[in-house]
Amino acid sequence: MKRPADRRTAEHADEHAADRTDEHTDEHAAPERRAGDVVGTRIEVEVGPPGHGGFCVARHEGRAVFVRHALPGERVIAEVTEGRAKDSFWRADAVQVLEASEDRVEAPCVYAGPGLCGGCDWQHASYEAQLRIKGEVVAEQLRRLAKVDREVVVEEVASPFGWRTRVQFAVDSEGSLGFRKHRSHEVVPVEECLIAATGVDEVGALQRDWPGMETVEVIAATGSMDRALVVTPKRGEQMPYVDADVKVSVLRGVSRNTHISGVQRIHGRPYVREVAEGRTWRVSGSGFWQVHPAAPDVLTEAVLDFLEPQAGEAAVDLYSGVGLFAAPLAEAVGEDGSVLAVELDRQAVRDAAHNLGFVDDEEESAEFPWLDLVEGSVDEVLADEGYAPDRADIVVLDPPRAGAGRDVCERIAGLGPRAVAYVACDPAALARDVAYFAEAGYELSDLRAFDLFPMTRHVECVALLQPAQR
């Protein structure tokens, strides 16, 4: 395990933070109300195509209106939730359906709907329609940002309910757990979450109050019985006593997430054990791990199918997390090959070192001596002559929601790989980066999309980029 000297103190937030809290990202910041706004105004609109963000696009007096809780082709009464008279677009909720789509269903969750929980975007659509809508959104982003015209079919992975193994609850002023409203800090208390995995319910966090807390994250590991809590107190508040109201017998660890020092162990293990690819993975605290239990195996299989790694090849794994892709790459290229894994988050690197066979902070893995693990930001490591490889045969990258960016895409292309597998949780960032790769001589040759976040707007893609055929 190696660290570039100027990066030994990782004073960086976890690059994957947005990925693991997709219901509670910055888009929920409360909109500022201004004089003359039109919030609360009701308008009748005909709903158009789906947009990237869990809404559909309508038009009103020449202005775009982003309408949630609607479906393409419907006629609805929409209530404006954000906007001023002079704005070029408004945001709104469909509060009355005048002409319903044949794809409309009654939302199965009592907390889904206008003004309620902002976590699920498409519960009012049949599951077949959800898959189709997500495919249309990915295709539209590729067409608009990358100038690539491709039909996208989103693959169903498992049941659309009971899949989320990591749930971060917000806490209201009374100490009740819930979820924030869409684009708001206001918390909607809940008694259950239909997309949460059974293991989340086993902990019993919803059965008690959490006064003084900002968030409570419940983790239910896949393939092991590990259950954990990560509690974030508000500034100046103390860690609550976790007593019999929470089923302590099922907990393997309780941690505190502070505003200054990060995640600290309070009780038990500071990590959970996840099982995927026939291996056991250590993931600490709120560290990034796919929240759908099938995701690690599904994504790894897709990446390996696209890359077809061969013995003796040089592989690069960027934004490598706890080593999910690095291990099978190392197994595939063998001792005559090489793997460079790069990750910024220090705790993820420590977990990866454990998972990949590094012992006592040694620089060489006992399991994969041909694998190098480097702690640092991807752009800096690829620009560092002491760490960046001269070439690579295959590259996998799994960046945070913001994507890789032009500089990283250009540097990857500069390594001359025969294949790049890009794992993306945001279709807009993926499409933008596909355009950057195209400028650098690489084209999108294949794409798979998976519904690893059912009922929400999110979709996971794996794209294959290869040198353009001239």
Catalytic residues: 425
CA distance 38 to 250: 50
Neighbours of 265 (CB within 10 A): 14
Nearest Cα to Cα of residue 412 among 318, 312, 311: 318
In degrees to the nearest 10, what's the CA dihedral of 327, 307, 399, 447?
-140
Q: How far is CA 270 from CA 300, 351, 357, in A?
A: 26, 11, 19
Query: Residue 240 has what DSSP assignment?
Result: P
Instruction: Give 280-285's long-range contacts (Cβ < 8 A, gap of 24+).
Output: 280/223, 280/224, 281/322, 281/323, 281/324, 281/351, 281/355, 282/322, 282/351, 282/354, 282/355, 283/221, 283/322, 283/351, 284/347, 284/350, 284/351, 285/230, 285/255, 285/257, 285/347
d(CA 282, CA 275): 9
Task: Give the separation between CA 41 and CA 379, rounded to whole angstroms.
Answer: 46
Task: List strand residue ranges (DSSP E) for 184-278, in order.
Answer: 187-189, 213-220, 227-233, 253-258, 262-268, 271-276
Q: Which of 369, 382, 321, 316 lies closest to 346, judged by CA?
A: 321
Give the chain's length: 470
- Find tokens 């990949």 and name the residue: 356
Distance, in Å, from the CA atom of 438 to the CA atom of 435, rounded to the nearest integer, reads 5
In contact, 307 and 419? CB cutoff 8 Å: yes
